[in-house]
Each structure stands twice: as C-alpha cells, then as structure tokens.
A and B are shown apart, each in its own frame.
Chain A
Amino acid sequence: MLQYIARRLLVAVPMLLGAMSIVFFAMRVLPGDPCVAMMGDQATSGALADCNKSLGLNRPLAVQYVDYLWRSVRFDFGNSFRQGYPVSDYIARMFPHTFILVVASAIVAALVGIPIGIVSALKRRNPLIDYPLRIIALLGLSMPVFWLGILLLIVFSLRFDLFPLIGGGDLDGVMAMIGSGEMFTQPRDFLAAVADVLHHLALPALALGFTLAATVSRLSRSAMLEVISQDYIRTARAKGQRERLVVYKHALRNMLVPLLTIIGIFVAIALTGTVLTETVFTRPGLGKMLVDAIGARDYPLAQGAITVFTMTIIMVNLVVDMLYAVVDPRITYR
C-alpha cells in the first residue's frame, strides 16, 4: 500500500507540473493585458509601460515561466498583481474557508442526496414516493445556487434574523487557537469561536449542499439500482432475509464503492460551486478569488489558486482510491 501511495504521489508531480504549465500559458493566451485590466480607462501609454515593468511582464516569456516554476516548487507564487499580498499567504488564509464550505456542503449533500437516491431506487415502483423524490432532485438540479442563496438569505437572515448575512466567522481565530493549544486551555472561547464559524457556514453549506444533493441523489439512485440488480441481492432475498437486512447489510455496503467515486467527483463539482456561493454569501474563499483573479488578469493569484485546486483534487482522488481498498477487501494495491 505504501509503495502504491508513493507511486501515486510521484505520478502526481508531473500532473501538477502539467496543470501549472497549462495555467501559466492559458493565462497569457487570454486576450487582455493585466495592466490595462488594472488601470482601465486610466491606462495611458506611459503608465502601461511603467506597470508592465513593475510587474515583470516585460521579461521574455520563457524567463517568466522558469521563474514561476522555480518559485512554485517552493510554494512561492509571487505577489498578487492587484493587491500586492504574497499569494501563498492569501491562499493560506482563503483555502480553509473554501475547504470547510466544501466539506460542510458535502455533508449536507450526502445527508440529503444519498437517502433520497436510495429510497428513490428501492421505491421506484411506487410512484407516490419515487416521483416526489425525483421532483425534489430535479428541483435541486435546476435551482441555481445564487438564487437559492438569495432566497435563504431573505428568509433566514432578513425575515427571521437567525443567521448572519455576510462573512465567514472568525476561522483565523479558531485555527490560531488550535495551533497554540488554546482550544484545551480555553475550551469555552474555542467552542464559541467554532459556533460562530458554523453559524456563518450554515446557510452557504445548505445552499451549495442542496443543489449538489440533487446530483448526489441521482448518482446514488443509479448506484443502488445497479447493486440491487446483482445476483447476491436476489440470493439474499431468495433466502428469505428481511428487506431491511438486504438493504443495510448487502446493498448499502456494496454501494459504497460507487459512492466513493461520487465523492471524488463531488469535490471537483463543489469547488466550482463555491464561486457563486462565496459571492452570494459574501464569504472569503478561493473560488470567488479565482474568478476575480482571472477577470483581472492577476496571473500570480490565478496560478496559485488553480495549483491549490489541482492539488486538492489529486489528493482527494488519492484518498478515495485508498478507501476503495478499505470498503472492498477484494481491492488490493501493490
């Protein structure tokens, strides 16, 4: 197993380098000068020349590329063109917000989507159950996250005043308390800070999770349909086992492998979904930052964010591959 992980990690290196190179050149192929984007209608010839020089864009492309790769391997993505902050610091601050949003929405999506998918598959011959569930799934698929987000804000934040309108809570404080060990010495403060973060997280996670639950429920339904058509399910039923036992013991466990695949895909979908969610709920995070960076031709910020996204997806897929072996003893890695 360890050998397999090491091999996968080694393979991930050229993948990551490839992705970084594509991003580097794709950003430069995109029409639009970063300095013009920054200065807009204030851009004069002299100001543009100064700007290009100060950003290092007047250097040959090959020099910029080598410099970028060399810096990146040391996790130095340079400074944001626009704001001047070191990109690594920026990402380190933003990524946890995006990460917890993805995790929380995954939980919501799983809690809502998987049971709906399973019930929908098992009760597919009962239109009174199957049809409403499929309609819910369709609603989720067709409801844009920004629309649902605004709706949730109007109901739960504006009308009932139960949730904050904007922000991500004091996640920096939570992480600092974890790092310094204050979570053990001042558990009440720590729990209050965690509650604040969760409080800010609830609506965005619901909005993103619900729209993604639709996808999860459809994938779960297909997975369950495939599993319950297998011979061993028929055998279990023929042996006279109770339906609940057949589902819990035989079907659900065998459904875990396709379910893990769904989770792997889910991370990629959820990461893209964070863009609109972070915008509507005014949460700090990588998704919105990435879109802004591309629009503003902020090369270092866009490159850094995409590199982190790529690494996340590679790592999640690696973990998913590892888990295959855990949930299915027939799978072994050498």
Chain B
Amino acid sequence: MAQPLRLCLSVFLVLISALGVVDLIAPPPAEAQKKILNIAAKEPDTLDPHSSTLGQSQAIARFMFRGLTRFAIKNSKVTTAEVEPDLAESWTLSPEGTIWTIKLRKGVQFHKGYGEMTAEDVKWSFERQISHAPGTRYGVNLEVIKSIEVVNPYTLQIALKAFDPIFLLRMVGYQNGYIVSKKAMEKLGDGFKWNPVGTGPFYFERHSPREKIVLKAFDKFYGGRPQIDEVHWYDVPEDATKLIGLEKGTFDLLYPEAVTADFADQVKRMGAVIDRRGPGGQERIYINMTQPPFDDIRVRKAFMHAIDRKAIKETMYPGSLARLATSCLPDGYFGHIPMEFPPYNPELAKKLLAEAGHPNGFTVKNYFISKSFFYPKLMTLAQEQLRKVGIIVELQVVEHATFHENIRKNLDPFVVYGGTRITDADPWLSLFFDGKEIPDPASGNKGTNFAHYRGMDDLLTSGRVERDVKKRAAIYAEAQKRLQKELVCLPISDVPGQWARNPKRVSTPFDPEYGEFSLHYSYNYPELLKVLN
C-alpha cells in the first residue's frame, strides 16, 4: 500500500507547486500602475445611502455620496457637530426660523452622465425618505420638514413644521442627508441599490456578490479628481484573515469587526497604524425604572455601585482603545456635560440592597443578551461583578435579532445597548429618554427608551424650539443632571471608530488619534486618502 500513498503525495506536491506558480505571474503593466486602494471589510447590505444601516454600508456610502453640508475641518481636524457648505453654497433662515432658503453649488455633476445636480434632486432625495419609500430607513430624521419648494434649479426653500436647531446637522452627508440622482433613481428603480449614482469622489463600477465592490475615481468630482484610481472593497468577514492580508499587502485598510488588544498589538507589530475616530459608539446600560426590583432607586444605586466601569472598560478596551464614558450623552455631542455616577463600592451596594429588602440579593432569570459584537463580553464581566453583591443574572445568549426583539418586549430589566447618532443632544436623548419611545408590546411601540424614563419630556420639547445656543446647552445640561439623579443610565465606554491602515501604502492628512469626527464612517474625506506606491 506504500505505492498508492507515494503516488498521492507526489500528485499533491506537484499540484501545490504548479498552482503556486500561477500567483507569481505579475499583473499586466497598466493594472500595476493604477493607484488601487484595497479595503477589507464586510459586504454592505445595500449601496442606497438612505437604506443602509450597517456600518460597512455607511462607510462605503461616503465614498460615493455627498450632502448639502459636511463636517468642517478646523485646525487640521474634522470637527464634531460643526458644519460647513458642501453641495450647498450658502443658506439663509427666515426670521421666524422655519424657512431655509438654500442655494446650491453650480456645476456639480452626478456620476455616469446623469447630469448636473439641481434642486429637483435635493427635493427628491428628501421627499422619498419623508414619504417612507420602501427600503428607506431615515425618514424619521426628516419629519421636521413640512414642504420643499424648488425656486429655480439652484435654489430651494425648505419649510419646517417648527424651528429645528439641528437642521443643518440633519443636512450633513450622512444617512438621510445624502443627495441621490432623481433621474437615476427613476430609471433604475430597485436596481439603484446596486447601481448607485451620487456626486461623491468615487463612482460605482461593479459588484461581485460575496467578493468585492469596485469603485472608480470620478473625473468630474467638484472637489477635483481623487489621487486614487480605484477602490476595491473586499468582503472579508474574518478579522484574522484581514490581518494576514494587511501584513501580506493584499489590503491597505481594514475595517475590523472588533478592535481587541490583541488586534491592536498585531497591527502595531506589523508597522501599521489604527486610525481612531471619535466620538464613535457608546456602550451603556439602561435600567428599567418601572420593573421591580429596579423601581426602587436604592436598587438602581446598588446596581451601579456593584459595576466597576473602569475595570470593564480596561478589560475590553485596554489603554487607548476606548475612553471611559463620562455621561449618558457621549462626549463630542452638542450639550454633553460630564456626569457623576455611583463609584464602584460593592460593600455599599450590599448595604443598599439590604435596605431595599434584598439582604441576600436577588436573581434575574432569563436575561437575554446578544451573542454578537461587544454584548456578551460586557455582560459576562458585569454578571461577575453583580454576583459579588448578590445580584445573580442568569444569561441567555441569543442571536442579535432575538436580542433586539426581546428588549423591545421589556424582557430584560436592564438593557445593554450601543450605537451612534447625529452628534447633538436632541436626537440622542429623544431616542433613549423621550416618553414616546418607551417600548410597549401591547401597543406595538418598539421604541428604545429602555429605562422607561419620562422625566425629561418637557426639556426635550423646549430644547427643540430654543434658538439660543447657550440656552440649549443649559437645557441639555439639566437633562443630564436629572438622569444623574434618577440613576437610570450607566455609560461604560466611548468606543471610537477604528480602522487599521498600512501607512507605507496609504496616507491621510488627519491625525490617527481622533483626527476626525466619525459617525459610522471613519474617513469623512476619502478623496484626501492617497496611495503612496
């Protein structure tokens, strides 16, 4: 039997060698001269910017689309919540504060010969979302708009239902703010999802499902043609494979699923850098103040004393991988002030529990937690800390979709949650603390006020009509003080958006350490990225 074995081995080795040689063949010269940016991320779910909810979809959208406004560059940094004109050239607001007259930049071209961008395209882009066209997700952010009137091809008037202090922030190139080509959308219909037409620095070339998306430099981009000729966006779900690719030179930029200490070490060891973009997402815990035993503020306080936030943050994101959160409204959002939270003190927690009638603690049965992202790790650490004061949490690790479903059925008495929003107090606090957002299975309300908190509705209402910036800031400062008093929210970590970059291959003009403000994307200005060799 040795002979067949030898034969198999020989065939195997010959095959390996023969196939291996194929890779050594150099690419054709023209291909080699092109400046190609190779990105490893997951595959987007759509390229329609008004439909995309996943991080990778929103990150790639920024390469192809622009909004009326953009985050301003000040002192070589892309700012937080400060905007400047982008597709808009200028604007004025009527004295009563409800009509915006916006003048558009002239000569802005859409990709693929769809012509010049006009006020009709802007109107179309917003109205399709306001009317909740199938697949669109962000109409809710534009509900402040009463009507849109095209004055001439380069001027439009947007009438609001009431004054909106963050209107210009809503117009930023992000989610609902992107301007799409009306002509292309009417022509392509559903096909627009994978044949997007925008005004950004790169246009869509092709999509090979589960493999890659190819974007090409747009010669007529109003900001000038990008230095990079092509962007190849590879669908690489595994972080380990992404790292091997970065080391090998297959990829220049990585969008990892999670940046762990190990991941950061490997990136550093291979001479690559991590571009950290704040404020990123916040990981936090909301406590349902209506559900026993958490309806007793002493139990909520005990809960917070039992959680060592710093230890959790340092375990999950050692050193500079994240920042210890300082407020239920993340740092970097308009209106943020630092809050104080009950410090880690298990003995005090036990005492408070005893006072509240739980001398031996209590058990939270069937606590649902997502098996994805940061959720299981954070909750496992918290579970162990809570156990030390007698709060036993029986975890049920479920799929992410199940988790989202169950927390909206109020099945968890406290909810671990994460996410990013437009960087202003109003949208953030409205989503997580407005009485209208309390989830209620009976009425079908699937809101995200998991704390079931009703104590700042008056502030939110007044904040939405306040035109004085300082007064607005004071309103939201008061809102945070109320949260501090009621103890319904415990923020843990502010985790920046993080991409790994090979600096020998790709440069960005912004500092890797928080040089840009980021929402779901890390590179606000992909046209400024340069391929070095």
Contacts and interface: CB of A to CB of B under 8 A. Distances in A.
B46 A282 contact: no
A93 B210 CA distance: 10
Contacts of A164: 23
With most chain B CB atoms within 10 A of its CB, the pick from A51, A83, A199 is A83
Interface string A44-61: 111110110110000000
B45 A83 contact: yes
A36 B439 CA distance: 13
B248 A45 contact: no
Nearest to A89: B209
A153 B211 CA distance: 18
Contacts of A156: 16, 20
A41 B5 contact: no
Interface stretch (A110-118, A256-264, A309-317): A110-118
Contacts of A154: 244
Contact of B399 (A40, A161, A167, A295): A295
A50 B208 CA distance: 29
A196 B19 CA distance: 8
A158 B245 CA distance: 8
A40 B373 CA distance: 12
Contacts of B240: 150, 280
Interface in A155-184: 156-158, 160-168, 172
Interface stretch (A15-23, A27-35, A266-274, A322-330): A27-35
A285 interface: yes
A165 B245 contact: yes
Interface residues of B, number: 63
A208 to B, nearest CB: 15
Given A84-B46, A84-B194, A39 B4 contact: no
Contact of A161 (B23, B194, B210): B23
A88 to B, nearest CB: 13
Interface in B411-442: 417-419, 431, 437
Interface in B50-67: 53
A94 interface: yes
Interface string B1-25: 1001100100110011001101110
A166 B245 contact: yes
Interface residues of A, number: 71
Given A84-B193, A150-B240, A199-B22, A32 B210 contact: no
A242 B231 CA distance: 65
Contacts of A162: 16, 19-20, 23
With most chain A CB atoms within 10 A of its CB, the pick from B4, B11, B140, B238 is B238
A283 B250 CA distance: 15
A167 B193 CA distance: 23
A39 B53 contact: yes
B132 A50 contact: yes
B238 A115 contact: no
A166 B250 contact: yes
Nearest to B235: A282
Contact of A167 (B4, B22, B211, B445): B211
Contacts of B211: 167-168, 284
Given A90-B209, A115-B4, A282 B238 contact: yes
A50 B50 CA distance: 14
A46 B22 CA distance: 54
The 10 closest A-B pairs by CB, nearest first: A32-B401, A162-B20, A37-B401, A284-B210, A54-B134, A41-B419, A31-B402, A36-B404, A32-B402, A82-B45
Given A31-B401, A44-B446, A198-B19, 8 more contacts: A31-B398, A36-B401, A40-B419, A45-B444, A45-B447, A48-B446, A161-B248, A199-B23
Interface of A: 30-34, 36-48, 50-51, 53-54, 82-85, 90, 93-94, 111-112, 115, 118-119, 122-123, 146, 150, 153-154, 156-158, 160-168, 172, 195-196, 198-199, 202, 247, 279-285, 288-289, 295-297
19 contacts: A31-B398, A33-B405, A34-B401, A38-B45, A40-B400, A41-B404, A41-B417, A44-B437, A53-B134, A82-B46, A93-B209, A94-B210, A115-B1, A153-B244, A162-B16, A163-B20, A165-B250, A166-B250, A198-B19
